[in-house]
Amino acid sequence: MNEPGQVIEGVVDHLRYVAPDGYTVACVDLGGERTVVAAGAALVGVQPGETVRLTGGYSRHDEHGERFQVTECVSVLPASVYAIRRYLGSGLVRGIGGKLADAIAAHFGADTLKVIDTEPERLLEVHNIGPARARMIREAWAEQKAIREIMTFLQGVRLSPALAVRIHQALGEDAARVVRAEPYRLAEEVRGIGFHTADRIAMAVGLPEQSPERMRAGLLHVLDRANARAGHCHLPEKALIAQAMELLDADPGPLRAALDALRADGKVVVELLPGLRADGEVEPVVSARWLHVAESSVAGELLRLHRAASRMPDRVRRIAEERLGGDAPPYADLHPDQRRAIEMTLRETVSVLTGGPGCGKSHTVRVLTELVRAGGGRVALAAPTGRAARRLGELTGLPAMTVHRMVRPRADPAEDGALFDHTDPFLADLIVVDETSMLDLVVARALLRRVASGCHVLFVGDPDQLPSVGPGDVLRDLLEVPAIPRVRLGHVFRQALGSPIVANAHRVRDGLLPVAGKEFYLFQEEDPEAIPELVADLATRRIPQRRGVDPDDIQVLCPGRQRAAGAEELNRLLQERRNPHRPGVPEHWTDGRVFRPGDRVMPIRNNYDKGRDGVFNGATGVITRIVPEERRIEIRMDDGQTVGYGYDELDEILHAYAITVHRAQGSEYPYVIIPLTTAAGSLVLRRNLLYTAITRARHTVVLVGQARALEIAVANRGIRRNTSLAVRLNAALPEG
């Protein structure tokens, strides 16, 4: 091995590997047909096309050969014409592709970057560059300069320079000043930057550990963490202060002063709710203002709809009475509970229908909607995700859509069957919202605000499933309000009794261990390190070969994203088996993940501006193209539309070979594999999670893992989310 401390400079050609902790392996072009494989954590965030100055030393790896082990990496402006051409053609400067980069570098030579920086009007000398293109290049160059300044600072505090793009996009020209003077603003205003990253920057620029800014940021972080991790809408004030004391190593006095300041600024709400008691006493609770507004708004809208006089056509009730009283199918075959549910929905403006698998919820909805339509009523079917909406449509035989699409304003109310326009709040007499356990406060508020008084709303769901990914617990809150009518379907129909999936789902719901049998398999593996490999082998080789099924029909559902057998690790294993690196095929690394054409992916944020109808959390798609010179990927979604994501938006995309059970809600898959390890912990291993995972399978369930982990999941009922929707409704509605 050569002595360390050597310095080399070259252009990053491509990335070979990026670990989750930032350790990067890159191929660096040194010019003159000389290349080197560079490796080290110091390379975190480097991009193809960048010119880098690397400090380190050469070493030989037993498996991978000679490498330059990097101890320091500095991004520098390219000096040679070749490096300038590679830099401009990499897509790092918007508006310049490969051919245009060649033309600019050929015209200006080694002075190219100086011309762009100080004499951008001279770009008009280059063929095919007009005033509009020159202005775009000038603006993109100025943006790159600002980003590079932030990058340099982030590298100095050992943070990924890749964050610089997000910071600049969120804060614009003020970005560099905010990073140095108000770093805690980053946690509030920049997507992907949390308290811990902002705190690290704050310590680097010399803010005191007990500063009021840090106290306020810490309190907001504790509230945000309670929302993101557990779905809580508020925390008791004592719990909030205690958790912040532990996080910040601070005394309660400064934290209470910071809480008062947050309340004065309107960022949090502190209130006494008589229905929420701790040890027999009413205790103040604290919520982020946006969550307080959402929860209060949902309560208000439900009260408005509950109290409104019905607009359901009288003819619907007459036809329902006649047909439900007759002996013609399908009405004669209805269970008494199904009849009660239909009668309730036609009588009440707000009602709830619940039940487990095989209990006839979908059939009840199908008969209900047929009756309303037969009487001249207008029906709308909705679900929180695209997959759930399609499934609802298939089961009922009627069109269904996502709640997001239903409430999205459109200039033409007839466009794509949308039910809303900018002025008319709603055009239906009955709305059925399926999979209500998935409905969080934000989505519920968007829907209910647009529903006209007098319209009937039926919430359908299974309260034994996981609650929503987002904050709140809408379905369970509704069930805790006696004044809101509800029917629970408990009879399992004969056609479902023979299903081992249905039988085991009910066993788990009742706190009993599932039983192995046909189409329900238990693979016990006590070594947690071996579980991911076993799952990957089952999903990519054993099940496809033995059953003759397409691997696309097999979905791995994980209790969580991280730790052993989590979605992140399994996605890496499954991707390498199903869609490995192919020489000459473009791919893009970011945040320890590589995106390749053919990858199965899933958006995790709603984005109404993508594609024709927008994309929504929980949808799935396949990457069809990666365009390095434009720094974007193209995805064909399951609904047929093609959408583009810039490299700076890829934190909105997850690989979907393995997904968390939460993100599978509302979906069904032919084959489901569920890895279970005790490393996941009791916060994740819960009965409702296992129940939800099992009920996602249509044909076969395979449980893989430690016996103790399965026992923990079945026994653990989990914790109730901190919500106040039921409290607000019960305070306003008389019982009965």
Q: What is the largest CA-CA distance in the chain?
A: 92
Is 40 annotated in a binding site? The answer is no
The closest of 458, 486, 393 to 736, measured between CA atoms, is: 486
The closest of 654, 352, 597, 389 to 484, measured between CA atoms, is: 352
DSSP string, 317-338: HHHHHHHHTS--TTGGG--HHH
The Cα 590–Cα 433 span in angstroms is 37
The closest of 704, 359, 300 to 537, measured between CA atoms, is: 704
Task: Look at the block and give the residue holding tokens 């080399």.
Answer: 8
Secondary structure class of 179 (helix, strand, coil): helix
Tally Cβ neighbours within 10 Å of residue 192. Answer: 15
DSSP string, 702-729: EEEE-HHHHHHHHH---------HHHHH
| Structure tokens that stand for 724 in this block | 């106040």
The closest of 700, 703, 698, 699 to 714, measured between CA atoms, is: 703
Q: Are 570 and 675 in contact (CB under 8 A)?
A: yes
Helix or strand (DSSP H, E) at 59: strand 51-61
| Structure tokens that stand for 411 in this block | 């200039």
Count Cβ neighbours within 10 Å for each residue of 355-365 and write b for 16 or more, e otherwise: bbbbbbbbbbb
- 10 Å CB burial of residue 286 (0-12, 13-18, 19+) is buried
The closest of 74, 79, 86, 65 to 46, measured between CA atoms, is: 74
- The phi and psi torsions of 658 (rounded to 5 degrees) equal -130, 135
Secondary structure class of 8 (helix, strand, coil): strand
The Cα 484–Cα 391 span in angstroms is 27
Q: Are 352 and 479 in contact (CB under 8 A)?
A: yes
The closest of 351, 613, 609, 617 to 470, measured between CA atoms, is: 617
The closest of 119, 156, 154 to 134, measured between CA atoms, is: 119
User: 397 forms bridges with which residues in the sheet?
Assistant: none
Q: Which amino acid is at 178?
A: V
User: 383 forms bridges with which residues in the sheet?
Assistant: 402
Query: Which residues in 403-465 belong to E strands, given as ranges?
Result: 430-433, 456-461
The Cα 365–Cα 578 span in angstroms is 39
Q: Which amino acid is at 722?
A: N
Is 558 annotated in a binding site? The answer is no
Is 359 annotated in a binding site? The answer is yes
Q: Are 526 and 391 in contact (CB under 8 A)?
A: no
Q: Are 658 and 570 in contact (CB under 8 A)?
A: yes
Is 114 annotated in a binding site? The answer is no
- 10 Å CB burial of residue 548 (0-12, 13-18, 19+) is exposed
The Cα 362–Cα 375 span in angstroms is 20
Is 45 annotated in a binding site? The answer is no
Secondary structure class of 593 (helix, strand, coil): strand
Report in angstroms the alpha-carbon separations of 422 from 416, 418, 450, 611.
Answer: 15, 11, 10, 21
Secondary structure class of 40 (helix, strand, coil): strand
Question: Binding site: what residues are annotated?
Answer: 358-362
Question: Binding site for ATP: what residues are annotated?
Answer: 358-362
